[in-house]
Amino acid sequence: MSDPIESPPAAPKRRPRRIFGIGAILLGVPILLWIGAGFFVARSLRYPDFLRRGSEDTFGQHVPQFKRGSITDIGAALGVEPERLDCGVVEEDGIAHHQVTVVGWYFPGKRREVVVIVPPAGAPETAMIPYVKFLLGAGYTVVASYSANDPKYGINWGMLKRKFALATARTLMDDGFTKIAALGISEGAAGAIMAQAEQPVFTAIVADSSYANLERLFMRSPSMSGLNPAFLSTVMWEAQFWFGRKLDKISPETDAGNLGSCALLIIQNRDDQVTPMADGQAILASAGFNAQMWTVPSAGHGDALFEDPAGYTARVIKFLDASFGTETPAATP
């Protein structure tokens, strides 16, 4: 009797593909929401509230409320007719790559030494009047490097200002000027330091209220420090695309160690909560022997000229004169 024919084994049951699709959706949606939320938080670092409100990133008890004006208003206030100084076009760092025209206003002085003012974020043209006034009073030729921060494009905390500073200095050098200094306020101060580290164009820099490191600056913000640590890491990672490089690599503290023979005067508010004393001290330590720091008893930010006008003027002029070789530098206080 022959064996019965065995039936072939049954094929394994296949799981419906829809189960995998649903699983992918359930996993993918939270990831996309997480990344999307991080994108908008990172974007807010480029578009701070003060800029949308039409304000600048300096403040203090004695800072005037500057109104939006024009270069004509500056000329009228100073009794000097400035000349427009076109310094070409630069490309903004980050994902947008906007082309930005670099414009300065040239105020001829009695001396051939030039001081380039690199303003804070959001500053109107009229905010430059007090700085131009005391520098002209000392005989310096002055260029107010004014290329307004458009709220439509946001700001990048000195990265673009470094390009403004370099373009302005190169234009002045092409015009025959050999002794050029920069006076930067807040992000303008950071930009001036970064510019000199990239290309040695300045004899001296006055860095008024510069931050030391951009990532640390943002981490001090209560709105950032209170975030979930994992989400915060995502925000910091996404922010590099808005700024063109990792935030911890945007570091005037590091760049201060690469200024060459350029002298550096750091102006630091004693109780500044935006750029605290530790920032000024870090920049000073990195810059070494060719740097000095003046501390102002203020809790504001970038307001030293308005907190102590006479002291500010005397310190800056003495430092510039010494740096340009017209007197012996004073010892660091």
Q: What's the order of all strands across the beta sheet hosting 114-118?
A: 83-91, 99-107, 141-145, 114-118, 180-185, 204-208, 263-269, 291-296
pTM, full prediction? 0.85
Residue appearing with tokens 């002045």: 172
Question: How buried is 34 (Cβ within 10 angstroms: 0-12 exposed, 13-18 middle, 19+ buried)?
Answer: middle
Confidence of residue 331 (pLDDT cuts 50, 70, 90): very low
Q: pLDDT, tens digit, for every residue of 194-238? A: 999 999 999 999 999 999 999 999 888 887 877 888 888 888 888
Structural class in CATH, domain 47-213+250-323: alpha beta
Task: Express each pLDDT in 19-30 by its tens digit.
Answer: 655 655 555 556
Interatomic CA distance for residues 233 and 229, integer angstroms: 6
Q: Calculate what percentage of the chain has a pLDDT beyond 90.
A: 50
Domain ranges of the chain: 47-213+250-323
What does the pLDDT average to over 156-183? 94
CA dist 326 and 28 (Å) reads: 66
Write down the pLDDT at residue 76.
74
CA distance 239 to 181: 32
